[in-house]
């Protein structure tokens, strides 16, 4: 399986419900380094997985919808604990929608999957992997 990874970051505010979250139940900020890995079993006609420039542009666009937002105020996340794991899935699903819409070019139609990792720090992160 071949893969390429592009990276960006996003800054959000949010809070959690539930004792398991301790002090994170209060409103707090988070800055995530976001890696999006695109996979395919064979390279396309240009011998690439996907256009890195387009992948970078589309990741930035997906993150722009979340950046500098209080996620507690976003209708799409009403009543949801926007954990790192949950947000990794949100980003992966939104990237997948862009792949299916053709935003990453015709060659991207051969992609087999996407993995998105949100790094909370240099020692902790969460990922979500999905098929295309």
Report the CATH number that the domain containing residue 7 is assigned in CATH: 3.30.479.10
Does 83 reside within a domain?
no
Residue range of the domain that includes 38:
1-51+105-132
Instruction: Tell me what pLDDT residue 107 has.
Output: 87
The structural domain count of the chain equals 1
Q: What is the pLDDT of residues 36-78, one digit of tens each?
A: 999 999 999 999 999 999 999 999 999 999 999 999 999 999 9
- Within-domain flag for 24: yes
Domain presence at residue 66? no
Please say whether the beta carbons of 88 and 128 come within 8 A: yes
Per the domain annotation, does 46 fall within a domain? yes
**Phi, psi (deg, nearest 5) at residue 103:** -65, -20
Identify whether 64 is part of a domain: no
């Amino acid at each position: 399986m071949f893969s390429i990874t592009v990276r960006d970051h996003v800054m959000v505010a949010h809070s959690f419900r539930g004792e398991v979250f301790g002090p994170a139940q209060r409103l707090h900020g988070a800055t995530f380094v976001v890696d999006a890995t695109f996979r395919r079993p064979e390279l396309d006609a240009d011998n690439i997985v996907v256009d890195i420039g387009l992948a970078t542009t589309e990741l930035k666009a997906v993150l722009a919808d979340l950046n500098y937002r209080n996620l507690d105020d976003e209708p799409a996340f009403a009543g949801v604990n926007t954990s790192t794991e949950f947000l990794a899935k949100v980003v992966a699903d939104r990237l997948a929608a862009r792949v299916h819409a053709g935003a990453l070019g015709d060659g991207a139609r051969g992609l087999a999957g996407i993995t998105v990792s949100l790094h909370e720090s240099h020692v902790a992160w969460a990922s979500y992997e999905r098929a295309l």
